[in-house]
Amino acid sequence: MIPSSHDIKYFVEVASTLNMSRAAERLGISQPSLSLAVQRLEHSLGTQVLVRSKKGVDLTQAGRQLLAQSRVLIQNWELIRARTLASVNEIEGSYVIGCHPAVALYSLPLFLPDLLEKYPGLEIKLEHNLSRKIVESVVKMDVDLGIVVNPVKHEDLIIRKLCTDQVSLWVAKGKRTIQDFKSGEAVLIGDPELLQVQDLLRSLKKKGMKYKRLLPSSSLEVIAHLTLSGAGIGLLPGRVAAAAAVQGTLQRVPGAPSFEDEISLVYRVENKNVRSIQLLVETISKVLY
Protein backbone atom coordinates (compact mmCIF):
# COMPACT_ATOMS: atom_id res chain seq x y z
CA MET A 1 0.00 0.00 0.00
CA ILE A 2 1.31 3.44 -0.95
CA PRO A 3 1.29 5.91 1.98
CA SER A 4 -0.57 9.19 1.63
CA SER A 5 1.26 12.45 1.06
CA HIS A 6 -0.15 13.75 4.35
CA ASP A 7 1.37 10.86 6.32
CA ILE A 8 4.77 11.51 4.73
CA LYS A 9 4.48 15.24 5.46
CA TYR A 10 3.54 14.51 9.10
CA PHE A 11 6.48 12.11 9.49
CA VAL A 12 8.93 14.72 8.17
CA GLU A 13 7.64 17.22 10.75
CA VAL A 14 8.00 14.71 13.59
CA ALA A 15 11.49 13.74 12.37
CA SER A 16 12.47 17.42 12.26
CA THR A 17 11.27 18.24 15.79
CA LEU A 18 11.69 14.79 17.44
CA ASN A 19 8.72 15.76 19.58
CA MET A 20 5.19 14.49 18.91
CA SER A 21 3.42 17.28 20.84
CA ARG A 22 5.38 20.06 19.14
CA ALA A 23 4.97 18.48 15.69
CA ALA A 24 1.20 18.11 16.20
CA GLU A 25 0.96 21.76 17.26
CA ARG A 26 2.91 22.98 14.22
CA LEU A 27 0.82 20.83 11.89
CA GLY A 28 -2.44 21.98 13.46
CA ILE A 29 -3.68 18.46 14.25
CA SER A 30 -4.20 16.46 17.44
CA GLN A 31 -1.43 14.28 18.83
CA PRO A 32 -3.56 11.09 18.52
CA SER A 33 -4.14 11.88 14.83
CA LEU A 34 -0.41 12.35 14.34
CA SER A 35 0.33 9.04 16.11
CA LEU A 36 -2.16 7.25 13.82
CA ALA A 37 -0.49 8.80 10.75
CA VAL A 38 2.91 7.47 11.86
CA GLN A 39 1.39 4.03 12.51
CA ARG A 40 -0.14 3.99 9.01
CA LEU A 41 3.20 4.92 7.52
CA GLU A 42 5.02 2.18 9.42
CA HIS A 43 2.36 -0.33 8.35
CA SER A 44 2.87 0.71 4.70
CA LEU A 45 6.64 0.32 5.00
CA GLY A 46 6.54 -2.84 7.07
CA THR A 47 9.05 -1.52 9.60
CA GLN A 48 9.35 0.87 12.55
CA VAL A 49 10.61 4.40 11.81
CA LEU A 50 10.28 6.02 15.26
CA VAL A 51 11.08 4.89 18.82
CA ARG A 52 9.98 6.75 21.92
CA SER A 53 12.63 8.03 24.34
CA LYS A 54 12.66 10.02 27.56
CA LYS A 55 13.26 13.22 25.58
CA GLY A 56 10.60 12.51 22.97
CA VAL A 57 11.17 10.29 19.93
CA ASP A 58 14.20 9.09 17.99
CA LEU A 59 14.57 7.89 14.41
CA THR A 60 15.43 4.28 13.70
CA GLN A 61 17.91 3.47 10.94
CA ALA A 62 14.94 2.95 8.62
CA GLY A 63 13.51 6.26 9.83
CA ARG A 64 16.70 8.14 8.92
CA GLN A 65 16.62 6.63 5.43
CA LEU A 66 12.94 7.49 5.05
CA LEU A 67 13.54 11.09 6.14
CA ALA A 68 16.24 11.61 3.50
CA GLN A 69 14.12 10.05 0.76
CA SER A 70 10.98 11.89 1.89
CA ARG A 71 12.71 15.26 1.58
CA VAL A 72 13.78 14.36 -1.96
CA LEU A 73 10.22 13.21 -2.72
CA ILE A 74 8.73 16.48 -1.46
CA GLN A 75 11.22 18.52 -3.49
CA ASN A 76 10.43 16.49 -6.62
CA TRP A 77 6.72 16.89 -6.03
CA GLU A 78 7.06 20.67 -5.75
CA LEU A 79 9.03 20.67 -9.00
CA ILE A 80 6.37 18.52 -10.69
CA ARG A 81 3.65 20.80 -9.35
CA ALA A 82 5.42 23.93 -10.59
CA ARG A 83 5.96 22.46 -14.05
CA THR A 84 2.36 21.24 -14.20
CA LEU A 85 1.03 24.67 -13.31
CA ALA A 86 3.38 26.22 -15.86
CA SER A 87 1.94 23.98 -18.56
CA VAL A 88 -1.52 25.33 -17.68
CA ASN A 89 -0.62 28.99 -17.13
CA GLU A 90 2.31 29.54 -19.50
CA ILE A 91 2.71 29.24 -23.26
CA GLU A 92 4.97 26.21 -23.19
CA GLY A 93 4.93 22.42 -23.15
CA SER A 94 4.49 19.59 -25.64
CA TYR A 95 1.23 19.33 -27.63
CA VAL A 96 0.02 17.05 -30.41
CA ILE A 97 -2.01 18.51 -33.29
CA GLY A 98 -3.86 15.98 -35.43
CA CYS A 99 -5.43 16.33 -38.87
CA HIS A 100 -5.88 14.60 -42.21
CA PRO A 101 -2.78 14.96 -44.45
CA ALA A 102 -4.80 16.94 -47.01
CA VAL A 103 -6.10 19.27 -44.30
CA ALA A 104 -2.53 19.68 -43.05
CA LEU A 105 -1.35 20.91 -46.46
CA TYR A 106 -3.71 23.87 -46.56
CA SER A 107 -3.95 24.66 -42.83
CA LEU A 108 -0.64 24.11 -41.02
CA PRO A 109 1.46 26.48 -43.16
CA LEU A 110 -0.96 29.30 -42.30
CA PHE A 111 -0.09 29.39 -38.59
CA LEU A 112 2.80 27.10 -37.62
CA PRO A 113 5.74 29.22 -38.91
CA ASP A 114 4.78 32.32 -36.88
CA LEU A 115 3.70 30.26 -33.87
CA LEU A 116 6.97 28.31 -33.62
CA GLU A 117 9.06 31.45 -33.99
CA LYS A 118 7.09 33.48 -31.43
CA TYR A 119 6.82 30.76 -28.76
CA PRO A 120 10.08 28.77 -28.47
CA GLY A 121 8.74 27.02 -25.37
CA LEU A 122 6.07 25.24 -27.41
CA GLU A 123 6.93 21.78 -28.67
CA ILE A 124 4.48 20.77 -31.41
CA LYS A 125 4.07 17.21 -32.67
CA LEU A 126 1.92 16.34 -35.69
CA GLU A 127 -0.34 13.32 -36.14
CA HIS A 128 -2.02 12.57 -39.49
CA ASN A 129 -4.98 10.28 -40.03
CA LEU A 130 -8.62 10.23 -41.09
CA SER A 131 -10.70 12.86 -39.28
CA ARG A 132 -12.74 10.27 -37.38
CA LYS A 133 -9.49 8.63 -36.20
CA ILE A 134 -8.16 12.00 -35.04
CA VAL A 135 -11.37 12.61 -33.07
CA GLU A 136 -10.98 9.19 -31.43
CA SER A 137 -7.38 10.06 -30.54
CA VAL A 138 -8.49 13.34 -28.93
CA VAL A 139 -11.06 11.44 -26.85
CA LYS A 140 -8.33 8.97 -25.78
CA MET A 141 -5.98 11.91 -25.01
CA ASP A 142 -3.38 10.79 -27.54
CA VAL A 143 -3.94 14.03 -29.50
CA ASP A 144 -4.44 17.41 -27.79
CA LEU A 145 -6.06 19.35 -30.64
CA GLY A 146 -7.65 18.13 -33.85
CA ILE A 147 -8.44 20.00 -37.08
CA VAL A 148 -11.11 17.71 -38.44
CA VAL A 149 -13.87 17.39 -41.04
CA ASN A 150 -17.49 16.81 -39.97
CA PRO A 151 -16.80 15.71 -36.36
CA VAL A 152 -19.44 13.79 -34.42
CA LYS A 153 -20.47 15.31 -31.08
CA HIS A 154 -18.98 13.74 -27.95
CA GLU A 155 -19.62 14.62 -24.30
CA ASP A 156 -15.90 14.90 -23.52
CA LEU A 157 -15.12 17.25 -26.41
CA ILE A 158 -15.42 20.91 -27.26
CA ILE A 159 -16.12 21.30 -31.00
CA ARG A 160 -15.45 24.74 -32.46
CA LYS A 161 -16.51 25.33 -36.04
CA LEU A 162 -13.86 27.03 -38.15
CA CYS A 163 -15.17 27.14 -41.70
CA THR A 164 -16.92 25.19 -44.42
CA ASP A 165 -15.59 23.62 -47.59
CA GLN A 166 -17.27 22.45 -50.77
CA VAL A 167 -16.46 18.99 -52.13
CA SER A 168 -17.15 19.07 -55.84
CA LEU A 169 -15.75 18.12 -59.26
CA TRP A 170 -12.57 19.77 -60.51
CA VAL A 171 -10.70 19.64 -63.79
CA ALA A 172 -7.43 21.00 -65.16
CA LYS A 173 -7.10 22.91 -68.42
CA GLY A 174 -6.90 20.48 -71.30
CA LYS A 175 -8.80 18.93 -74.17
CA ARG A 176 -8.61 15.25 -73.33
CA THR A 177 -11.86 13.36 -73.76
CA ILE A 178 -11.40 11.85 -70.30
CA GLN A 179 -11.69 15.39 -68.87
CA ASP A 180 -15.05 16.14 -70.52
CA PHE A 181 -18.47 14.83 -69.49
CA LYS A 182 -19.81 15.64 -72.97
CA SER A 183 -17.39 13.20 -74.63
CA GLY A 184 -18.91 10.13 -73.03
CA GLU A 185 -15.36 9.05 -72.08
CA ALA A 186 -14.97 11.00 -68.83
CA VAL A 187 -12.90 9.45 -66.03
CA LEU A 188 -13.63 10.37 -62.45
CA ILE A 189 -10.85 10.28 -59.85
CA GLY A 190 -11.92 9.95 -56.24
CA ASP A 191 -12.23 7.89 -53.08
CA PRO A 192 -15.46 5.85 -53.29
CA GLU A 193 -15.23 5.08 -49.55
CA LEU A 194 -15.92 8.72 -48.62
CA LEU A 195 -19.52 9.65 -47.85
CA GLN A 196 -19.02 12.95 -49.72
CA VAL A 197 -17.98 11.10 -52.89
CA GLN A 198 -20.88 8.66 -52.61
CA ASP A 199 -23.29 11.60 -52.34
CA LEU A 200 -21.73 13.30 -55.38
CA LEU A 201 -21.94 10.15 -57.49
CA ARG A 202 -25.67 9.85 -56.69
CA SER A 203 -26.17 13.53 -57.56
CA LEU A 204 -24.33 13.09 -60.88
CA LYS A 205 -26.66 10.27 -61.80
CA LYS A 206 -29.72 12.40 -61.01
CA LYS A 207 -28.33 15.25 -63.13
CA GLY A 208 -27.61 12.92 -66.04
CA MET A 209 -23.89 13.72 -65.98
CA LYS A 210 -22.45 10.42 -67.17
CA TYR A 211 -18.89 9.13 -66.89
CA LYS A 212 -17.25 6.02 -68.27
CA ARG A 213 -14.83 5.00 -65.50
CA LEU A 214 -13.92 5.70 -61.89
CA LEU A 215 -10.27 5.73 -60.91
CA PRO A 216 -10.28 5.09 -57.15
CA SER A 217 -7.64 6.54 -54.81
CA SER A 218 -7.64 6.90 -51.03
CA SER A 219 -5.29 9.91 -51.16
CA LEU A 220 -6.70 13.38 -51.81
CA GLU A 221 -3.20 14.61 -52.65
CA VAL A 222 -2.82 11.92 -55.33
CA ILE A 223 -6.29 12.72 -56.69
CA ALA A 224 -5.37 16.41 -56.92
CA HIS A 225 -2.10 15.75 -58.74
CA LEU A 226 -3.67 13.26 -61.14
CA THR A 227 -6.38 15.80 -61.89
CA LEU A 228 -3.70 18.42 -62.56
CA SER A 229 -1.99 16.00 -64.96
CA GLY A 230 -5.15 15.69 -67.03
CA ALA A 231 -5.92 12.10 -65.98
CA GLY A 232 -9.58 12.92 -65.44
CA ILE A 233 -12.05 14.84 -63.30
CA GLY A 234 -11.21 14.98 -59.59
CA LEU A 235 -13.71 14.75 -56.74
CA LEU A 236 -12.05 17.11 -54.27
CA PRO A 237 -12.66 19.58 -51.44
CA GLY A 238 -12.25 23.13 -52.71
CA ARG A 239 -9.46 23.94 -50.25
CA VAL A 240 -7.47 20.90 -51.39
CA ALA A 241 -7.99 21.94 -55.01
CA ALA A 242 -6.79 25.47 -54.19
CA ALA A 243 -3.69 24.11 -52.41
CA ALA A 244 -2.89 22.01 -55.48
CA ALA A 245 -3.10 25.14 -57.63
CA VAL A 246 0.50 25.93 -56.65
CA GLN A 247 1.55 23.51 -59.37
CA GLY A 248 -1.24 24.34 -61.82
CA THR A 249 -4.81 25.50 -62.16
CA LEU A 250 -7.91 23.51 -61.34
CA GLN A 251 -11.36 24.72 -62.30
CA ARG A 252 -14.65 23.65 -60.86
CA VAL A 253 -16.78 21.79 -63.41
CA PRO A 254 -19.76 24.02 -64.34
CA GLY A 255 -23.08 22.69 -63.11
CA ALA A 256 -21.45 19.98 -60.99
CA PRO A 257 -23.08 19.09 -57.64
CA SER A 258 -21.33 19.81 -54.35
CA PHE A 259 -21.24 18.54 -50.77
CA GLU A 260 -20.63 20.92 -47.87
CA ASP A 261 -18.02 19.91 -45.28
CA GLU A 262 -17.62 21.51 -41.86
CA ILE A 263 -14.04 22.06 -40.69
CA SER A 264 -13.77 22.22 -36.89
CA LEU A 265 -11.34 22.23 -34.00
CA VAL A 266 -11.84 19.54 -31.36
CA TYR A 267 -10.23 19.31 -27.94
CA ARG A 268 -11.11 17.86 -24.54
CA VAL A 269 -13.31 19.86 -22.15
CA GLU A 270 -10.72 19.86 -19.35
CA ASN A 271 -8.22 21.64 -21.63
CA LYS A 272 -10.41 24.69 -22.16
CA ASN A 273 -8.43 26.70 -19.56
CA VAL A 274 -4.93 25.57 -20.61
CA ARG A 275 -3.32 28.71 -22.02
CA SER A 276 -1.29 26.93 -24.70
CA ILE A 277 -4.37 25.10 -25.98
CA GLN A 278 -6.37 28.31 -26.03
CA LEU A 279 -3.56 30.07 -27.89
CA LEU A 280 -3.60 27.33 -30.52
CA VAL A 281 -7.38 27.50 -30.78
CA GLU A 282 -7.44 31.28 -31.22
CA THR A 283 -4.50 31.28 -33.63
CA ILE A 284 -5.98 28.58 -35.88
CA SER A 285 -9.43 30.17 -35.73
CA LYS A 286 -8.04 33.45 -37.08
CA VAL A 287 -6.52 31.87 -40.19
CA LEU A 288 -9.17 29.27 -41.03
CA TYR A 289 -12.51 30.91 -41.68
Identify the CATH number of the domain in which residue 189 sits. Answer: 3.40.190.10
State how far the Cα of 105 lies from the Cα of 103, in Å rounded to an integer: 5
Instruction: State whether 254 and 171 are in the same domain.
Output: yes
Residue 248 has a pLDDT of 67
Overall domain count for the chain: 3
Residues 83 and 203 in one domain: no
Check residue 92 and give left, alpha or beta (phi > 0: left; psi -120 to 50: alpha): beta
Contact 49, 59 (CB under 8 A): yes
Question: How many other CB atoms sit within 10 Å of the CB of residue 288?
Answer: 18
Residue 204 has pLDDT above 90, yes or no: yes
Q: What is the pLDDT of residues 126-138, one digit of tens each?
A: 999 999 999 999 9
Mean pLDDT of 237-257: 86
The model's confidence at residue 187, banded by pLDDT at 50, 70 and 90, is very high
Same domain, 214 and 278: no
SS3 210: coil
**Strand runs (DSSP E) across the chain, as ranges?**
50-52, 57-59, 93-99, 122-128, 145-149, 157-172, 187-190, 213-216, 233-237, 250-252, 259-268
pLDDT for 1-38, tens place per residue?
677 888 888 888 888 888 898 888 888 899 899 889 88
pLDDT for 225 equals 93
Residues 6+ apart with CB under 8 A from 264: 147, 148, 149, 151, 159, 160, 161, 162
The reply to whether 147 and 283 lie within a common domain is: yes
pLDDT (0 to 100) of residue 84: 72
pLDDT for 75 equals: 80
- Looking at the structure, tell me whether residues 34 and 71 fall in a common domain: yes
Mark which of 30, 65, 88 sits at the end of a domain. 88
Q: What share of the chain is helix, strand, coil (3-state, %, to 5)?
A: 50, 25, 25
CB 188 within 8 A of CB 215: yes
pTM over cut 0.85: no
End-to-end Cα distance, the chain: 53
Parent domain of 102: 91-162+267-287
Verify that 10 and 84 share a domain, yes or no: yes
User: Is pLDDT above 90 for 229?
Assistant: yes
